[in-house]
Amino acid sequence: MSNISSSSNPPDVLVPAQTLRLTLAVSATLIVQTGLALIWAGSAAERISQLERRNEERSQLIERTARLEEQVITMRATLDRIEEKLDDTQRALMPR
């Protein structure tokens, strides 16, 4: 009978070792997940930075386009005035 009681003791001795393994496994999992979360956050921050740079470039293009449109409008008005003056000059020079 003493053999039976001694055979039940070894599983009890393994419990602390299993607990240690489980603790290490959970700790390792948490460390790996934390590291991966930090890597993901860093890549997300980089993507946001890239989008902000693109947005800035596009806003500069929009500003330039708006300035060019205003210049074209001014040039069109100037051209219309020049054409009108030329037409007036040609009408004045034409014999009646």
26 pLDDT exceeds 90?
Answer: yes
Residue 23: CA atoms inside 13 Å, Cβ hemisphere, count?
6
11 pLDDT exceeds 50?
Answer: yes
* Tokens linked to 57: 């470039």
CA distance 17 to 45: 42
The beta-strand segments (E) located in 33-93 are none
Query: Is 94 strand, coil or helix?
Result: coil
> Could you read off the pLDDT of 45-71 as tens digits, one per residue?
999 999 999 999 999 999 999 999 999
Question: For residue 24, which amino acid is it?
Answer: L
CA distance 53 to 47: 10
Question: What confidence score (pLDDT) does residue 4 get?
Answer: 47
As a whole number, mean pLDDT of residues 37-42 equals 94
What global pTM score does this model have? 0.48
